[in-house]
Chains A and B, each alone.
Chain A
Amino acid sequence: MKQIVSILLVAAIGILIFSALYFSDETLKFNEYGNVNLDDRVSEKYIDKSVNGNTEEIIFGETQNAESGSANMVTSVVVNYRSFDTLGEVTVLFVSALGVGLLLNGKRKRKNLKDAPNFILKQGARIIFGIMVVFGVYMFIHGHITPGGGFPGGAIIAASILLLYLSDDEFRVKLSAAKAVESTAGSLYVIVGLLGIVLAGYFLQNFLPTGTVGEVISSGVIPIVYMLIGLKVGSELSSVIDGFLTEEVEG
């Protein structure tokens, strides 16, 4: 009975969505897939880096002191043009990690793994752990010139911590260290924003020279902010993993 009612409701919602998007009047109709004119959209300004009225073409490896020096346009939207949104997003992630910490609190110890890991597994996982951490750091340092950035880099670091948890039944993250990294990175992000007010006039405004598009040391505060985000996300997700793989000790 419940299934039938759900199917009817879902069918009603589906008909509503499809008819509103694809079968309504010509004026209200949704753009066909792929048939988009970017000149109608604000994104055109983000691609040309012309929000402040710059009209020159941006060339990889040549253009200097562009408005946002990031070669990766998604990064320039996330950490430069809309950095305030990202600060809110990082705050949401912080609050959810705080909630997990509050719910799974108390004195805790590791859960026993079903099969005790042997020597080869432990040592092999440690070697892979080092490579994964280096890759995660590479990812958030190069967030402005290659795909990736702070969030995937932090997630890769947290995944390397998860690998250690699964391969070693005595390993635990030092929670105090994770919290110290997290709070330092979070406060430094806000401090970078406040420095923007002092030096450039707006919160989170870029106040460093943006350099040549496509070089590692370029685009002002973007690499700094992405590094802070990467450290923050990595330590937050590591403490969440710790909450799920431990159990409360009685008494």
Chain B
Amino acid sequence: MIQYFSIVLMLVGIYGLLSQRNVIKLIAALNIFEIGLNLFIVSIGFVKDGLVPILTSNNESSAMLYVDPLPHALVLTSIVIGVGVTALALALAKKMHDKYGTYDMDEMGGK
């Protein structure tokens, strides 16, 4: 179920990227797309009845059933890179707004 939901979230992001002309909305759509993708990757690693992959005093043996830690590590990387891309995109958007006085790409072309 969560896999279907995350794919739908990705599709919402793609729709936003295709249909919007406002730069800030485009960045938001990119983030929605990315969140959907991250949820999907995490859901691949889920094991039924699996524990959180951390050894603690309650689940102390590595022989117990844990969920897959590798997708979590990859998503950690992906989230951080997403933050970097968003920061850079927002800085570009701010620069565009300083120059043209608008966030709309159609209005920018006219000037």
Contact = CB atoms under 8 A, between A and B. Distances in A.
A197 to B, nearest CB: 23
A51 interface: no
B56 A73 contact: no
Interface residues of A, number: 63
Nearest to A9: B18
A100 B19 contact: no
A31 B53 contact: no
A151 B80 contact: yes
Contacts of B81: 89, 92-93
Nearest to A214: B55
Interface residues of B, number: 50
A251 interface: no
Given A13-B14, A59-B60, A78-B73, A96 B84 contact: yes
Contacts, number: 155
A81 to B, nearest CB: 9
B18 to A, nearest CB: 4
A10 B57 contact: no
B48 interface: yes
A71 B56 contact: yes
A170 interface: no
Interface string A71-110: 1111011100010011001001101110110011000000
Nearest to A241: B87
A244 interface: yes
Given A77-B70, A100-B87, A6 B15 contact: yes
B9 to A, nearest CB: 11
Contacts of B25: none
Contacts of A213: 55
Nearest to B64: A47
Given A60-B61, A85-B77, 13 more contacts: A2-B18, A13-B14, A34-B46, A47-B69, A61-B60, A74-B54, A78-B76, A82-B73, A89-B81, A95-B84, A99-B88, A100-B88, A146-B54
28 contacts: A5-B18, A6-B15, A10-B18, A14-B11, A17-B11, A33-B3, A33-B43, A34-B48, A35-B48, A36-B46, A36-B47, A46-B70, A47-B62, A59-B62, A60-B60, A71-B56, A72-B55, A73-B69, A74-B53, A77-B72, A77-B73, A78-B76, A78-B77, A92-B81, A95-B84, A103-B88, A146-B54, A243-B91
